[in-house]
Structure 1
Amino acid sequence: MPTIPPLAEQPELPQRFDMLQAGLDLLDQGITVFDADLKLVAWNQTFLRLLDFPAHLARVGAPFESFIRFNAERGEYGPGDIDSQVEERLAAARDFAPHIRERQRPNGRVLLLRGEPLPHKGFVTLYSDITEQRYIEHLTEHQNTQLEERVRRRTAQLENANANLRRVSEENARNAAALKRSEERLRLINDTIPILLGYVDKDEVYRYANKGYSDWYGHPEGGVTGRDVLDVIGPQVYSQVRDSVEKALSGEQVTYEYQMERDGQTVFARSTLVPEISPEGETLGFFVFSHDITEQKRMQAALVQAQKMEAIGQLTGGLAHDFNNLLTVIIGNLAALQDHRPDDAGVNEFVEPALQSARRGVQLIKRLLTFSRQQPLEPQTVAVGPLIAGLAKLVRRSLPESITISTDLDHADIHALVDPGQLESALLNFALNARDAMPEGGRLHIAARPVELDTDAVAFDVALGRYALIEVADNGCGMDAATLARACEPFFTTKRFGLGSGLGLAMAYGFAKQSGGGIAIHSQPGQGTTVLLVLPLTQADLRPDDAAADLPLVSGGELVLLVEDDPNVRRVVRQQLIDLGYPVIEAENGAQALEMVEQISDIAIVVSDIIMPGGMNGRQLAATVRQRRPDMRLLLISGYSDEAGDPDMSDDLPVLAKPFFREELARALQKAK
């Protein structure tokens, strides 16, 4: 057996041990290593600080039991027998299994514990303080201050650690073999922890890099040491970090973020460069501590996207109210002109297309409100074939000429009980995803047919039965198994960073489940993607309301109080009421309306807008009128389709959505309570 040279003949071992241990103590994560006999082999000061252990507990060879018993005696594990608590945790340590879990400290800090067994028994545990990550948006400035303070403390700790390690090396000179084993264990720790560690000298040459650092830049293990920084990280990354490297080599500690392309994806990292200063004040190099923040960046982008969606929703709701008022005036006047000139072909030639366009405007507003979540879901019997046929025309305008669209609706005489706007949004999302998967052109095919699901129901996570099956297929680039497994996850996207929210498929999946159906996706790289959407079949709507619509309207005669702040809308509604035979008096706000109700006993019906100036809205007016004149009938009108009611009001008041036609107003008046 070869003999181990004395430590004096191995001068590189203490120096390398110093560097590794110093780097270990600089980490803001605690580390402990216990051997097969549950004896302490290595630790750092952060471990003692995070878990509030006194320094005298930490020494080479300290038993694992001493730390457990210390925690039990100070109540870390709650009430109970201390010996039982200690034995339970010792048993788990003897049969150590890899684990990752969070732990709430009595001082309110949240620690993430990651434990991994070592090849020759024993285990290494990493303690990370993740409290700040919970409040990252609110505490960013505070964290920067803390980071600067920690760096200052670590610089002092580095000097103290170097002095302590020199004394330890002198004391361990008689045991060079043990020192070598310690070095190997520390290297194993550095290669196991999820931190990118490196050391660069003053000539911008790597002198050390752990396995994680090499993997991050796509180099084999050990393939970084001895190479220039530019050669290792590449010109694209180097252009982002060059200024920070220069600051570190001038003796300044610096933290920065950078991005790079890896495996076709944009990834992000945050690095801290800590200079190594000699006693004479010369900068010898710097340590690199980096970690992956890609998921954090994606979550921040998703949050920004959600905030934009909320802002769009608020803006859309307000615009919809104004547009509905405008459409009320437009439709009311056009309909009145048509009624007064029924036999004038010249007038009708212009009026009829204008009315049709106004009606399409009403449907457009409803779709915008549905998109922004300002309008509730409105399930109704939908003829799937005509809906797809109409959508295909809309999609054609959104796709390049290089993509052909085909449909198969021969068996699409089927109906489903869904919100048509949500169904159109889901199908449109599928089509736009297909477009993105075919940048060079291709084919998009949409088909629908009835199916009977038995064993196939499992794939859609639905009950057995008959369903309407809608198929959207493309021959684009397709997805691999890993991407397909996450396709419907919220905020997951394969699009370039900043170009996709990752919400489209997730929202479509939620709509399908809410409607009693499901989604299944089949895809392979290079073979395209097929999205299958199933919705419960229903019978065609016999539309009994249409039969009621053919009944003659009851003529008016009762005095109506019309309350509307917009004079143009008020004029149109007044004319509709007069045409229906109702005498009308007007008020432009709630206060005026209440005065008229108290002074004019002949008022039989109050027709009021909901949103009005003056401190009293339509619902509040209706509540007051109902208290004072319980016999009076009430009808609310609104430019919103989902006005929020007063919590003290019952929900039995009819609301007529603007814009409306004279016949709709007449029937609403007949139903007014």
Structure 2
Amino acid sequence: MNTTGINRYELLVDSVVDYAICLINLDGTIASWNVGCERSTGYVAAEVLGKHIRMFYADDALAADEPTAALVTAHDEGRVETEGWRVRKDGSQYWANVVLDLVKTPDGTAIGYASITRDLTERKQAEDRLRRSEEQFRLLLQGVGDCAIYMLDPDGCITSWNTGAQRIKGYTREEILGKHLSTFYTLEDRAAGEPQRALGLAASTGRFEAEGWRVRKDGSSFWAHVIIDRINGDDGRHVGFAKVTRDITARRDADAALADAREALFQSQKLEAVGQLTGGVAHDFNNLLMAVIGSLELLEVRLSHDPHALNLLGNALAGARRGAALTKRMLAFARKQELQPTSIDLKALVQGISSLLQRSAGPTITIDTVFPLALHHILVDGNQLELALLNLVMNARDAMPSGGHIIITAKNETIEQSGHRSALPPGGYVSLSVTDDGHGMDAATLERATEPFFTTKGIGKGTGLGLSMVHGLAEQSGGRLLLRSEAGRGTTAELWLPMAMTAEDALTHEPEAPVPENSASGAQSILVVDDDPLIAMTMSAVLNDLGHITVEANSAREALDQLSQKNYFDLMITDYAMPVMNGLQLIEQVQARWPHLPIILATGYAELPEGSAKSVLRLPKPFGRVDLVRVVDAAAAASASRKTSV
């Protein structure tokens, strides 16, 4: 019966192939060996029976004497379970789970150990792969320094924290774990319930994405791109959130700068287009005014005996001269006015016209000037700057109908690199500011403030050319006009102008000596060149009335023919804008063939080719009788000086 039972037991044990089952003597030698043992280790029974179990242990386990420790523990405690690497016959290793049970006789005498070993190599490898994957994922998250990546529990409290989160937000892992997501929100967003809204949307829809201001540990703010994803467990239950935050402050600033640059380019192109149109209209209008003013001045002399007619004529002349002033402002906006830049002491200039500025502002307005002790000289046309400053003060006055305060300040400025808010190139400048506490301008008005003929003053109260003229002067002088204003909070106009290289020739503003209405140079033979017969005829009439002898030419080619046929001209006055051959090209040919002939260039344009006709006197259009007397006398004086020196 026992034999049969033992045989059945052996059959049962040998049939188990997934487990290595064997008996081990108390001294650790092998007493039995089943088929599962052969399958796991590669040894047959004859090769292992009587051998010690040490033969299956790896070197490091043998060095630690693990076999002896396992046998001792099983003997003392009756059972021991261990896992570790074991060695097969071919030298390969496998991960084994080993259970040793102490075997006793019915009377309690220990006779050996029952060993059951399972090959768990695949499970071990899977666990190792999972552990390595988790470690790699952890290292990946920790290595991402540009993104804050961390986990939240379902209530929004932080449960993990990567290096990027610490770099961006300033908190260490120990400082932030367990804190609520709202820690990073502004006080305004917290009061509005923004953190709860974000978590609620992520929980209900699975994802929340937004941009907004977030707060670092040190209290500073940054513009963040935020993503919150809902995390579900294997059973589909909500277990938390994954949170990714990027600091995109630099990108936002770059986008804003790009948008500002595009807007500035658009405004510049718009003003340039309007300027081209305005300059062209002003030039043509100048020619018309030339004829009107010249003819009216001639009539003024002839009608001096008729007071009523003289009064009507005076009104017509006043209107024509107002038109001439208007065209000058239009040309100033278009940057086509004739400028005479000089080194200017800005403080002295403002002091010199302070009484004029105060009278223009009126008794209800106080004007204060604040200048530093050391203020660089600037390179600008002083007369035009006075006019620009007067325009700025009058605009400030009109913004304060009930009275107020105007502050005129100036300071030295240095632009060291491109990208300055003024969009000016690097260099030295002086910023002249006129600030009022008037009603200010809204954004739409501010955008159009420098456009010509744009005004908010109502019909008959403004031409809309004041700021346009200031803008044109600044641009043509190598500077910039900057306007800052808000509705109800006043306006500041900043006029940036380049510093002069030297202050030795600073302009002193003294009233000019009156110019006689009749020429002091005596009768001269003058060649008048203009493609517009009306202008040529009017100019000739004025010159004839002054006692000069004139010959008209309506083209550059006709002028050259006149000079070739008649060699008695004392002076030539030529227009610039003529077809086929312009005034500068004509001057170049005349100077080559008749180098001693004085020449006057009459033009409404300032943007002539650099270096052209340096020795030629300029006569800005439109001009009147007094202007013509002055420039003709100057040309005669220059010619006499050259002859004397020869």
| TM, length-normalised to structure 1 | 0.46
With normalisation by structure 2, the TM-score equals 0.47
